[in-house]
Amino acid sequence: MRISNGKKISVVIPAFNEAANLPRLLEKLTASLAEAGYNFEIIVVNDGSSDLTVTVMDEFHDLDDRIHYINLSRNFGHQNALKAGLDHADGDCVIMMDSDMQHPPELLPHFISKWEEGYEIVYTRRKFSADSGLFKNSTSNLFYSIVNSLSDTKLEPGTADFRLIDRKVADALKQFREIDPFLRGIVKWLGFKQYAIDYMPENRYAGKSKYSIKKMIKLAVQGATSFSIRPLYTAIYLGFTLSGISVLYFPYVMYSYFNGHAIAGWSSLIMTIVFLGGIQLIILGIIGIYVGKVFLQTKLRPNYIVQHTSLKSKVHDTVEF
């Protein structure tokens, strides 16, 4: 099925130490797109890999000029790598997918079919099988619970960075200059006509996942603080809660004082420290996150630095050496 009017598809793939996965993915992807008769380009973004990812990208580009690469100067993170590919892509629609083979290429024709029906964003919701493991399911649910409880932009559980966006959506995303962009939330926030596709992820072909629990927590905090000041209100509620809890400590203080079990002044001092110290540290930490984001944003540093690319397209607000 060839897209009408000769429209072009861009596929953006961020990669960090994925030399073992890229050959299989690119072979499968190019074969599937070529067989369907699509006019396409594939852009692999090397996010500061330390393995042979650069070599693999260069070899595939020499074999097929529809496969391009962007080599970033260092590791800027998954979201910024996606942004780099998005800024360089010039297709009528842009498909974003990971390089670990967990995003099945077989879904791309379905994406394109919905796009041709008029949907401007076709996104995916990851489903977990019974053998995925309790830990994986629970941490995923916890991630979306945290983001949705602290943010004004609601994400459906399992929403992934595996999506298709129309050119007008891609152009809108190019205008964003946020430090630490949270693309799942931004795409949801943009609006447009959206369609969700549920999918079951494939097993990772090689290597280990780069998303640790620490990175997931960081991404959740990043998502919550990027779209809402609700955490600041939460800090106020937390302050009142801690104040109420500290009142429960008062009977013990009085009991210790009148029964001679406490050194004079100790009870009141400890209660005051616990009461005020806990509240201040938590609230200051939350405020500090927002102040830090403002501080970084005012520096106007680029989201990424392109060291080298095989693309010749004009890209604004990027640096290439």
pLDDT in tens, the chain (321 residues): 455 567 889 999 999 888 888 888 898 888 888 877 788 899 999 988 888 888 888 889 888 889 999 999 998 888 889 999 999 998 999 999 988 888 888 888 889 989 999 999 999 988 865 555 556 666 666 666 766 666 667 777 778 889 999 999 999 988 888 777 888 888 888 888 999 888 887 766 555 665 556 666 666 666 666 666 666 666 667 767 766 776 676 676 666 666 655 566 666 676 677 777 777 777 777 777 777 777 666 777 788 889 888 887 544 445 444
Look up tokens 């892509």; give the residue: 89
- The predicted pLDDT at position 221 comes to 65
pLDDT, tens digit (0-9, with 9 covering 90-100), for 93-122: 999 998 888 888 888 888 998 999 999 999
Q: How far apart are CA 103 and CA 152, in angstroms?
A: 28
Q: How far apart are CA 297 and CA 181, in angstroms?
A: 11
Residue 197 contacts residue 110 (beta carbons within 8 Å): yes
In angstroms, how far is the first alpha carbon of the chain from the final one?
A: 40
Q: How far apart are CA 10 and CA 260, in angstroms?
A: 77
To 10 degrees, what angle do helices 22-35 and 108-116 make? Answer: 40
Q: How far apart are CA 303 and CA 192, in angstroms?
A: 25
For the beta sheet containing 39-46, the strands, ordered from the edge strand earlier in sequence to the opposite edge, are 194-199, 121-126, 159-166, 93-96, 8-15, 39-46, 67-72, 306-309
Could you tell me which of 83, 92, 40, 64 has the C-alpha nearest to residue 174? 83
Residue partners of 37: CB distance under 8 A and separation at least 6? 1, 2
Residue 16 bridge partners (DSSP): none
- The predicted pLDDT at position 127 comes to 80
The three-class DSSP label of residue 48 is coil
Q: How far apart are CA 297 and CA 291, in angstroms?
A: 10
Look up tokens 């990971």; give the residue: 98
Q: Where are the domains of the chain?
A: 4-227+302-309, 230-298
- The predicted pLDDT at position 31 comes to 84
Distances (CA, A) of 202 to 22, 72, 156, 206, 311: 15, 28, 20, 12, 30
Q: How far apart are CA 2 and CA 108, in angstroms?
A: 13
- The predicted pLDDT at position 317 comes to 45
Which phi-psi region, left, alpha or beta, contains residue 103 (left: φ > 0; alpha: ψ -120 to 50)?
Answer: beta
HSE of 7, CA atoms in CB hemisphere, 13 A: 14
- Looking at domain 4-227+302-309, its CATH superfamily turns out to be Spore Coat Polysaccharide Biosynthesis Protein SpsA; Chain A (3.90.550.10)
pLDDT, tens digit (0-9, with 9 covering 90-100), for 18-30: 888 888 889 888 8
Threshold 0.95, pTM exceeds: no
Residue 16 contacts residue 49 (beta carbons within 8 Å): yes
- The predicted pLDDT at position 232 comes to 65
Could you tell me which of 146, 228, 153, 145 has the C-alpha nearest to residue 190? 153
- The predicted pLDDT at position 195 comes to 92
Which phi-psi region, left, alpha or beta, contains residue 314 (left: φ > 0; alpha: ψ -120 to 50)?
Answer: beta
